[in-house]
Every structure is written in C-alpha cells, then in structure tokens.
Structure 1
Amino acid sequence: MRELVLDTETTGLDPAEGHRIVEIAAVELVNHVTTGRTWHEYINPGRPVPAEAQEVHGLDDAFLADKPPFERVVDSFLAFVGDARLVIHNAAFDMRFLNAELSRAGRPALPSDRALDTLAMARARFPGSPASLDALCRRFGVNNAAREKHGALLDCELLAEVYLELIGGRQPDFQLATRTTGMARRTDSAWRIPPRPRPLPARITDTEAEAHARLREKLGADAVWSRFD
C-alpha cells in the first residue's frame, strides 16, 4: 500500500479570499515504511505574503520571487501523487488549498476521501488532549527540536513518525487492541495478550530430562542453566 504524508504552507487561511500555497511537500510510505522518496517545491503565490504568514513559515516575497508558480509544477506533483492515499494533519485545510490550486490549473480535484486526517485520528484516540503536531511529537517522543518554523518537508517527516505511532507503532499489523471478541472495542495501546491460565504441558520425555540433568551435573554449578533455577 502506497501512502504520501503531505503538508502545505500558505499565505493565509482561506483560498476563497485569494490565499495561495507557497510550499508543498510529500513523503512516501509503502506498507507503512518510509522509502526515502520525497516531493518538495517552493511556489510563487503571485501575491504578497502577509507578515503573519511569514512569521509562521519564514518564507517572504524576496525568497519566493524566483520560484515557479503552481501551474509549472502541477504535472510533477500529480505524477508523484499518483493514486496514493494522502496522510495529512488537518486534512480539510490542505485539501481545500490543493483543490483550489488544481482548479486554477484546470485539473480535476482530489477526492476528499483520499485523505486520512491524523488530527481526527489523534482527537479520537486522545479525547480532550492537545492534538497539534508539536503536542503529538511530545506524546510519542518524536524529536522536533529543529521545528523553529513551519516547514512543509520537515513537518511531513515528523508527521510520518507520528502517523506510524497513531496506527500502532513501527509494526502496526501486530497491534491487536482493536479486536472486539465479546467485549467493548479497545483502542488503547497498553493492551497486551494475557498469560495462559494454565502453562502448556512439558513435551520433554523422562529419558531426555534425565540426560539433561546428567549434562548439567557434568558442566558444574557455573553452567548457564544454573542461572535460571
């Protein structure tokens, strides 16, 4: 399964007010493992970047002046996206901006059901707790010390780690906490397989047990077997 952890930076909060994307990044996962493939572009929005937006992501008009407009990178972007599922923190925000840019470029919109919202996942798993990317990095012990500004590529790399933790850690297929066998559904990661009520019977024969005892006696008290008595 191919997924892309995706993030955008913008000039404001609403594309309906003319705000545009200034940076897009995506990090590729295949079967919940990062592949090392990324897509990243700074984009000239064709309009001034407000001071408050510059404060958030550190991108100003001078830096973006020689960057390509979205129309020049749209083919590369769509080729990288392909049919992958998109993993986005606060997906509705990014999808709204992406589809506004795609519309301006004369391209079809990305269906909203292709996006998996990690913000909604975090709020469902930890109701009432902070669910920002920084808060989730702290919760899962993900090092976000380099995140002084909101940069799309760094945020994607951090979100990829957070996403893997949200779905059960580095080996999500082994998380059994969502089983519903005769009990309320469990979603906490603390669940573990309980011990057997009765130990399994030994399969060693009497002859084998006697031979092992003789070997231990021959090896002496310092043998490794003696450490587990």
Structure 2
Amino acid sequence: SQLDLYALDKRLFAYPLVALGLPLAGLWLWNRASRPLRALLLVGLLLPACVLAGLRWDIRAPTRRALDAHANSPDLFDVDIPEDATVYWDNMSLLGTWSVLRRSDYYDPQQLSGLAFNRGTVTEAVARIIRMTPLMNETYACQQRIQGQGVPVACTLSPASLEAACAPGSPAPPDFLILPFREPIRTFGSWIPRDIATAAPLGQYWLYRCKDVITSLRQP
C-alpha cells in the first residue's frame, strides 16, 4: 500500500526473468503494434514509467534517508553521549552510530567483514554475538509481530535478555542501548525518524544506559 516502503523496483530486478522479460515483451509488442497502438503505448506505459523513475530515483529506504538528514548529530536524542561510549543500536546499520551519533558501534553484522583479517576480531565478535543474541532474537520477534498485525503493538523485552546484554563481564557490555521499544526502565531520550518526503513517522527509538538497566533489574 506504500510504494516508498515497499521497493517494487528492487523486487523486479531481483528476478532476472521478470527484469529481462518485461523489456523483451515490450519490444515484441512495439514491433507488432500499429501506429495508433504505438502512440497509446508511449502515452499509457512508457511516459508514466519515466515519470515513476524520476520520482523514485532515490531508492534508499525512508529510515536511511532520515538518518542521512541527521548526519553528524551526536545530540540526536537530546542527551550528551560521552565520546568514548559504545552504543548498540538494534537492527541499525553502522550509519546510525558512526555517521549520526559519531560514537563506536558495539556490534553490527557489517563489522564482520574484518573476520578474515584479524584473529582478535573473530574472538571479540563471537563473544559479543553470544552476549547480544537473546536481545536480538527478542527484538526481531517483536518486529515480526508488528509487521504481521500491521499496527503498532506493545512489546516489552524480558529481564533476562536485558540482563544478558548489559551485565558486567567479559566482553564488556555496551554503554548504551538504542531500542525500538519503550521499556519500563529510565530512558535517556527518544527520537522519532520521519519520512523526508511525507513527514510521516517511521517508528520511534529509545536510548537506555546499561548501568541504569542493571540497576532497575536488580531492584526489588
């Protein structure tokens, strides 16, 4: 229902038979068509396709465009995040932590490209994956529920997954968590990304400090 959220053009290119078949079918129809039909094809198909291509030249996802618009904004959450802090931003590319917040990213699959070059990277990555897996699994399950129902649903992560992510130990936990769900824990701020084209909200993210998470979980 929202073409800006569903990249139809990407889906077409993902299937070579469709991506190649449509132009070939159009060429065959053009060669077989009479002059009036050719004019109809130009006005009814080719011209709208060109207009659509012009409108959708920027195929970045709306959230990606919103992040790009806030590049170099470490105060995005209206709070001072220390420069040496490590941040885990759930289900977000390195763009969010590095380009926007200008802070170290605790873990993102994109960082695993270094596994082929450094044994220490392998050891640290495995340890961080083990630490964050319960939290990642729960947030993924919550996102699937939201997409399945088509409307926002309340989703509270379990104390066990939050404890696993933030508890002191080795490897050291991240200093801050950025999650797409409101938890019954003190928050340091929130941010609502908005579609650059329509100004429609694209969800909401909350900033938590791991020390406060552990303090809240261990209170009676």
Which is higher, the Rg of structure 1 or of structure 2? 1
Category of TM-score, reference length = shorter chain: under 0.3
Q: Is the strand fraction higher in 1 or 2?
A: 1
Q: TM-score, normalised by structure 2?
A: 0.27
Q: TM-score, normalised by structure 1?
A: 0.26
